[in-house]
Every structure is written in structure tokens, then in C-alpha cells.
Amino acid sequence: MLPAMCRRGNRLLNHSRSAGNTQLSVFLLFLVLLMVSLFVMFGKIGYRSSSIPELQSQKWNSFDSLVRLDPTVEFRNGTDLIWQIPNSPKAVLFLAHGCNGRAANFWDTSPNCPTCVGLPEERLIVLHALARKFAVLAISSKGRCWAPRKERWIAKDIIQWWVAERMLGKLPLFALGASSGGYFVSVLAMEVRFKGISLMIAEGEFNHLDITKDYPATLFVHMPKDETRKQRIEKYMMAMSGMGIDVTEIKCMEFPLTPELFANRIPGIEQSLSAKLFKVFQDRGFIDEKGYMRDDGRAIPWKTALEERNILLPDKSLVNHIQEEMNLAFAYHEMTSIQSQQIFDWFESHKS
């Protein structure tokens, strides 16, 4: 259920809309609407993403001089966990993937992790985290998506065991979950004492949680093109803020494809191939005259278009990498690393 304060607010809002409005209820309604408008416009910190500058400076190999992906793989409580700790860590970050994902998506294939696949956005999130001195732990769900009510106890045990085993217990603990992982993290935060959580392209399970003012600071990273989710996030932010919970948002907007995009974002794609992909998308009308996606990448027959042009990928697994960047450019529902600097700035502001 929603918090008690939110329920009282909803009753007030419904009353103010009734035929027998009093002057007081009209005045209160005006105040509520004004607060919602100001909150949506500015939030508590007022982050708004500007994707293009980050895309120009953020490439798949941007961190080569700072950190390298070098994971350790373990198995516990019936699932796999993958982790990496930088020198002199300052915080701990738990990562929860979305549906059809797994912990292996966050690290590149290597001798230490031959099953890792290193999807472009996931791997960049880990690199950002390591560069900011966050120890990183990812766990795979047992099913296609997370089962929050069942798996929170498994994740809690793994996190507590791993933190103690690696002597990281004195460091601030954070969590980031995307889509199904975001819903999962919102529930897990009822059991694990996170300093802050980031829910990416997910509004959380707040309709079913009795949260209190002690609930951790919450950052919603979402794509406003998904209007239904945007409205739910606005509703929860208003209720949580009214309870005294530190809450804010980052809005992720669409951006145009360029001939360089796939080469800049995906290891294994050369500039020449990236330009060919862009040309096919242009010729087939998958993008408009400014390079913006006309539809979600999942709905576009781009693989068939490549076959018709006899364009071969150096590795079949790159299909998923290209798909992720197309989905991201459309900005409806996809994991994103573009706003990582803002996300980790927010995490660091909540260490104490």
C-alpha cells in the first residue's frame, strides 16, 4: 500500500474535486497542484540529462588509463555473483539487472569470466563505479526477472556475507537496479540498510510497501517518453518527499544516431562498420533526417536489413550490443550509463 500520508493526500484530492467543494478545499487543491508542478520542474536537486555532450566524451575505452574490468565469479545460494573491488574503495554498490539480464552483462569476457558478455551500458556503469572507488557486486536472478518477495532474502544474505568477507562493512552501501532490478531494489531496501538507491526505468513497488521516513534516499532515473511510468514516479516522489525521504530524479532524453555512435559505444565495432550501420538505418528510414530513431529498436527489422546488404558482424553476440544502443537512443526503456556522472555524484553526496 502507499504510505499513510499519500493515502490521506489522495482522499483530500478526491474531496476537492467533488461537486460540494468548499473554499478551503479549493485553496488546498491549488497548493497541492503548485507543489507538484514545482517538484516536477525542479525536484530536490533538479537534475536533467543532456545526452549529447556525455555521448561525445564518453566512449567504451574512456577508462582504459584509470581502471580495467577484472571480475571475480562465485556461486552462492543457488545463483552466481560477480564482483570487483578497486584499490582503496570508498563505497559499495550492488547492481541488479533487468529481465533477461544477468550479472555477466556487467563485465567483458575474460579468462576470469568466460561467460561474461559486457553489454555496452552495463560495463560502462561498472567502469564509472570503479573509477569513483566503488566496490561493485552484481547478482543474477534465478528466473528471467527478479521475484522481489522471494529473492530479497537470498540477495540480503549474499550482500551481507560478501561485505563481511571482504571487510567492507564500514563503507557506505548503495544499490542500483534497472527495470525488474529497480522494482527488486525498492523492495530489498526494506531489508538492507542502503545509504541510497537508484531505480532506473522503474517506479518501484511503492504501492505495496509500507515505507517510513527511514527509507533510504531514492533517485529515479527514468525516460519521460514512457508517460505512464513518468506519472507514477511523480506520484511517488511527491508522497515520499512529504514523508521526509530524500528523493529526486534524472530525466533521460532521446538522442540522434551518428555514423560514429556504435564504434564509440561498443567494443568490437570498428568505425567503418559503424558508418555502414548508420547508412542502412538512413536508407531504410529507421531514423529521421536528424538521426533520431522513428521507433523502439526492438520493433525495427534492422537485422534483416543488414542481411539484405550482406553486412556481417564480426561476432553474432554484437546483435544484443547494437540493439541496446538503439533502444537507448529512442529513450523509452533501456539501461543507461550516459547519466553515470550525475548518478555517482548523487551517491557520493549521500555517503554520510
* Residue range 224-251, pLDDT digits in tens: 999 999 999 999 999 999 999 999 999 9
Q: For the domain with range 51-254+339-348, which CATH number is right: 3.40.50.1820, 3.40.50.2300, 3.40.50.10420, 2.60.40.10?
A: 3.40.50.1820
Phi, psi of 100 (to 5 degrees): 70, 10
The pLDDT score that the predictor gives to residue 268 is 95
Tell me the torsion sign for CA atoms 165, 141, 151, 238.
positive
Q: CA dihedral defined by 181, 186, 192, 195, rounded to 10 degrees?
A: 100
Position 152 scores a pLDDT of: 96
Mean pLDDT (the chain, rounded): 89
**Does the predicted TM-score (pTM) go above 0.75?**
yes
Taking only the tens place, the pLDDT of each residue in 276-315 is: 999 999 999 999 999 999 999 899 999 999 999 999 999 9
> Burial level of 307, CB count in 10 A (0-12/13-18/19+)?
exposed
Contact between residue 166 and residue 135 where contact means Cβ atoms under 8 Å apart: yes
Alpha helices in the chain (DSSP H): 4-16, 23-42, 51-57, 120-131, 148-165, 180-188, 227-242, 261-265, 271-283, 302-308, 318-330, 340-348
C-alpha cell at 44: 530536490
| Bridge partner residues of 116 (DSSP) | none
In the numeric block, the cell 518501484 is attached to 204
Q: Which amino acid is at 179?
A: S
For residue 328, which of 197, 200, 136 has the smallest C-alpha distance? 200
Q: Which three cell numbers stand for residue 139?
A: 547478482
Residue type for position 80: D
Residue 263 · residue 270 · CB < 8 Å: yes
**281 C-beta neighbours (distance < 10 Å), count:** 21
Nearest to 340 by CA among 121, 140, 137: 121
Instruction: Check residue 30 and give its pLDDT.
Output: 55
Instruction: State which residues of the chain have pLDDT below 50.
Output: 1-19, 32, 36-51
Q: Phi and psi of 8, rounded to 5°?
A: -65, -40
Nearest to 301 by CA among 284, 314, 321: 284
Measured from the Cβ of residue 175, the count of other Cβ atoms closer than 10 Å reads: 28
User: Rounded to 5 degrees, what are φ and ψ at 297?
Assistant: -60, -25
Residues 6+ apart with CB under 8 A from 248: 43, 44, 45, 46, 47, 219, 220, 237, 346
Query: What pLDDT does 58 receive?
Result: 82
